[in-house]
Amino acid sequence: MAVGGRADLRWSIVAACVCLALIGRRVVAQAPTSPAADSTNPRQVQPERPTVATHAGTVAPGYLEIEAGVERDQFTHETSALAVPIVWKFGLASHVQLSASTPFASNDATSGIGDWAVGIKWRLLDDAPIVGDFAILPQIKAPTGSLREGTGTSTTDVSFLLISSHDLHGVAMDLNAGLTLRSGDRDAAPSSAFVWTASFGGPIEGNVGWVGELFGYPGTGGPVGQKGTAALLAGPTLQPAEWLALDIGVIVPLTGPQPHAVYLGGVYNVGRLW
């Protein structure tokens, strides 16, 4: 996760949960993630994609999953930033999931807790024509981080994400498109921002898989507006158990002020809470 406009769009997510939080990030398991997993095998992890992309699947009702990760962004030889997003996912119903993110951010000068966010993923359609498994994810972000220390935007954000997931003969494809609207000082962050992603993943051999993703943030206006960015993400994935998945990879900028980055992550299905 980077700083600024990109950071507050990225919703942010093991020797117990503490170690997982230090090594986790959004992950792709071996084959496509199927929404049917929340009823046939509730301990099967529902890993979401690296960076902003996510799938339409939801955690089984009454179950908890934790996604967490570490990403290092390199802006210049002298300037870098570190992000540790943690996402708590609760299954509320067969097609409804509550997500709460509690990110931690650090740069060359300061560090601290970032802006907290809460959202509801609601899967509206399963295996529908054209859109496949289709879900919406509205979310609200509170200004709990610090603009001065670079861990937040000092704005209250409302975002809305459209999610379309498909199984292309064993390859998972997830398409996302989202809009964020912000209240507060336009000198702190643009009043609106967009994001798009196209994520793909599948198996290689056994419990080893792969992930590739294209994502971008169109340009924004205002005093702190930026040029549009696009980037490519790629890396291997590992699922040592049905309840645990890990990944590692790199992010390479294609256009705009997008930093180079490396990430390491995981998702852990804790089990039934109620």
User: How is the chain split into domains, by residue range?
Assistant: 17-272
Cβ count near 10 (within 10 Å): 24
Residue 227 and residue 56: Cα distance in Å, rounded?
A: 30
Q: What is the pLDDT of residues 161-215, one digit of tens each?
A: 999 999 999 999 999 999 999 887 667 778 899 999 999 999 999 999 999 999 9
Alpha carbon of residue 31 to chain centroid: 18
Give the chain's length: 274
3-state secondary structure of 175: strand
> Which pLDDT score is estimated for 184?
72
Q: What is the pLDDT of residues 86-101, one digit of tens each?
A: 999 999 999 999 999 9
Nearest-10 Cα torsion for 188, 190, 191, 195: -130
In sequence order, the β-bridge partners of residue 160 are 138, 179
Phi, psi of 188 (to 5 degrees): -90, -40
Phi, psi of 194 (to 5 degrees): -120, 160
Q: What is the pLDDT of residues 226-251, one digit of tens each?
A: 899 999 999 999 999 999 999 999 99
**Fold for the domain defined by 17-272:** Porin (2.40.160)
3-state secondary structure of 13: coil
3-state secondary structure of 220: coil
Cβ(141)–Cβ(115) below 8 Å:
yes
